[in-house]
Amino acid sequence: MEEKLKLLVVDDEPDNLDLLYRTFRREFKVFKAKSGAEALDLLDDQGEMAIIVSDQRMPQMNGTEFLSRTVEKFPDTIRMVLTGYTDVEDLVSAINSGKVFKYITKPWNPTKLKEVIAQAAETYRVIKQRTRALSRALAQESLSNNIMAAVRGSLDYGSTLQTVVSALGKAFDTDLAILYPAEVLPGSTLQNLLLFRPEKKSESQAEEASEAGSEFCSNLDVLPPLHSSSAIFSEPVEVKGTPATRIIVPFLEQGKLSATVCLYKRTQQKRWADHAIELLNNVSEQVALAIAHAKLYQRIHWQSVQMRAELDVARQIQSNLLHQSWPDVAGIKIQARCEPAREVGGDFFEVFMHPQGDIWLAVGDVSGKGVPAALFMASAISVLRRELAQEKSPEPEKVMHNLNNSLASDLMSNNCFITMAVVRYTQKTQQLVYANAGHVYPIVWSHQELVRLRENGGDMSAVVPSYLDVRGVPVGILPEWQAKAGELQLAEGDVLLLSSDGITEATVPGCRTDNDSCMLNQDGLWAFLQQQPAQLDLDHLLSYIHLPEGEQEDDQTILSLEVTSC
């Protein structure tokens, strides 16, 4: 049965009060007051009235003044004025300042008065319905905004869940809120449950807490068992003799439970639970989505951490493969550098001193970057070392042929290939023999003569570099690799430089423009080498081509052999 609306009648004539009371007592809960002051006291005690009917001409406080004092506190109340006069100014004042719905002249027609009051009651119901709907919408939006804002500020899965339980606990003025995560993700410091307890800020709150038995449920073991459910529901519970209400809020992710929140309040008033459940039903999907996003972020972060650790190990392994040491040989100076664009890469180099005295140099570049290229790089180094370690120093083109035989099948099946230059230098004869599988041309020049001309003001163009341009296709392109070997005679002061395309295709400062950028290329590399001091430094070259504003675009490998005086 619908609860009766409250009707307040105010008149300084007792007969009018009694008549109005008898007329409406069946349909309304009627309150009477003989003056404006008495009516204000009654409103303070009883709260909002649906309808107020006030006489206009009353001593001390007229109807207009009384009604105007109720507007701010009770904006939804329907106000009416009874008057036996036709004073236009009073009526205008009543309508403007008192927000009067209608005015009724004395003596009134009982039938018409009932119709007017019934109309006022219906208007009040519509206003309250709209007000409640607006309040719910605003409360829902506020709650959703507060939770989402707090969640967006959270850094990880654990802090997101703590934010959710704290935001819900504060929003519904709970005495205790607990969140039970459905799972603890790897890499998370999350515990089995997260708590929210309100802070007692004021003295009155502290006194209330003291009277209620201080902190609500300090021992969580005494809480009633948790019931599983896919829907939000409330239930009355008793915690150590204290009656309370518990709202259980499951958050589902694609039908699977991701977390459960329990809200406790030391009350068993149904109105609190109904209001909270209504709002929770409207925001639960958003909260569940936020939890799902945080969980996904945590998983991706953990996977990234694991991948980073694995790549660090792979980088160290690759570095160990390339971190070679070779004995000092009189009359020879060797330098080598390799800088992968990522944690691991496909570039590699090899320096091998054969027991017969030959010095082997190689630089290779597996197509692509990252882990796939690094795996083929490791295979290439293994096969290359096996070929070079033969009892008799092999021919470079034979080394390349055997390398292709060993790797071609795997390279072709993975759409990869390897460019490589292999050089054999015989110190006794100063003869250089090489094989090139689609790699950047190695370059040879007389660095000693170049420095001498520069220091003496001579014509440096007289020193012309020799490019080792005899080459075949890359390894892994054809089942059989065939190409001729190239030969060159070196002399004291000559330098052999092998590099990958990460060097010649690097963007360098001198070529950059506002709208475009250009690569170093082999011509640019030669121009740079012409400016180098007598002591060639590969680190200086790498620092020149490294971009300060951005990541390295490709693996960069460079290897040099200088023929010096013994």
DSSP labels, 503-560: HHT-B-GGG--SS---B-HHHHHHHHHTT--SS--HHHHHHHHS-SSS---S-EEEEE
- Among all chains, which residue has been given the structure tokens 């083929």? 376
Q: Is the pLDDT of residue 1 over 60?
A: no
Phi and psi at 349, nearest 5°, equal: -140, 165
**Which has the closest alpha carbon to 259: 191, 171, 357, 315?**
191
Q: Is the pLDDT of residue 209 over 50?
A: no
Query: In the prediction, which pLDDT does 233 show?
Result: 93
> Long-range contacts for 280-283 (Cβ within 8 Å, ≥24 apart)?
280/168, 280/232, 280/247, 280/249, 281/232, 282/140, 282/144, 283/140, 283/143, 283/144, 283/147
pLDDT tens per residue across span 255-291: 889 899 999 999 888 888 998 898 888 888 888 888 8
Query: In the prediction, which pLDDT does 95 show?
Result: 59
pLDDT tens per residue across span 74-101: 999 999 988 875 555 555 555 555 468 8
pLDDT tens per residue across span 97-121: 546 888 788 788 888 889 999 999 9
Rounded CA-CA distance 193/427 in Å is: 73
Rounded CA-CA distance 102/112 in Å is: 12
**HSE of 240, CA atoms in CB hemisphere, 13 A:** 12
List 257's β-bridge partners, or say none.
252
- Asked which of 120-124, 307-311, 486-490 is least confident by mean pLDDT, the reply is 307-311
List 434's β-bridge partners, or say none.
423, 486
pLDDT tens per residue across span 4-15: 999 999 999 999
Percent of the residues in the chain that have a pLDDT greater than 70, as a whole number = 88
Q: Is the pLDDT of residue 372 over 60?
A: yes
Query: In the prediction, which pLDDT does 406 show?
Result: 95
Q: Is the pLDDT of residue 211 over 50?
A: no
Query: In the prediction, which pLDDT does 316 show?
Result: 74
**Which has the closest alpha carbon to 9: 50, 47, 44?**
50
Mean pLDDT within 340-349: 80
Supply 103's token pair. 């005015």
Q: Is the pLDDT of residue 210 over 50?
A: no
Average model confidence (pLDDT) across the chain: 85
Q: Please give the model's pTM, rounded to 2 decimal places.
A: 0.56
Mean pLDDT within 545-558: 76
The residue count for the chain: 566
- Asked which of 226-230, 256-260, 392-396, 530-534 is least confident by mean pLDDT, the reply is 226-230
Q: What is the DSSP string of 265-322?
A: ES---HHHHHHHHHHHHHHHHHHHHHHHHHHHHHHHHHHHHHHHHHHHHHHHHHHHHH
Burial of 498 per CB tally in 10 Å (0-12, 13-18, 19+) = buried
pLDDT tens per residue across span 451-485: 999 999 889 889 999 999 999 999 999 999 999 99
Hey, what's the torsion of the CAs at 365, 368, 371, 372, to 10 degrees? -90
Query: In the prediction, which pLDDT does 167 show?
Result: 86
pLDDT tens per residue across span 522-544: 888 999 999 999 999 999 888 88
Supply 313's token pair. 């190990």
Rounded CA-CA distance 517/508 in Å is: 8
Q: Is the pLDDT of residue 311 over 80?
A: no
Confidence tier at 217 by pLDDT (50, 70, 90): confident
460, 530 contact by CB (below 8 A): yes
Does 336 or 193 have the greater pLDDT score? 336
Q: Is the pLDDT of residue 141 over 90?
A: no
Confidence tier at 140 by pLDDT (50, 70, 90): confident
pLDDT tens per residue across span 20-41: 999 999 999 999 999 999 999 9
180, 229 contact by CB (below 8 A): no
Mean pLDDT within 208-237: 78
pLDDT tens per residue across span 410-452: 999 989 999 999 999 999 999 999 999 999 999 999 999 999 9
Q: Is the pLDDT of residue 44 over 80?
A: yes
pLDDT tens per residue across span 160-204: 888 888 888 988 889 999 999 887 655 555 567 788 888 765 454
Distances (CA, A) of 411 to 193, 378, 475: 52, 13, 8
Pairing assessment for the beta strands 78-83 and 100-105 based on DSSP bridges? parallel
Q: Is the pLDDT of residue 208 over 90?
A: no
Q: Is the pLDDT of residue 564 over 80?
A: yes
Burial of 139 per CB tally in 10 Å (0-12, 13-18, 19+) = middle
Query: In the prediction, which pLDDT does 513 show?
Result: 47
Supply 433's token pair. 């023999």
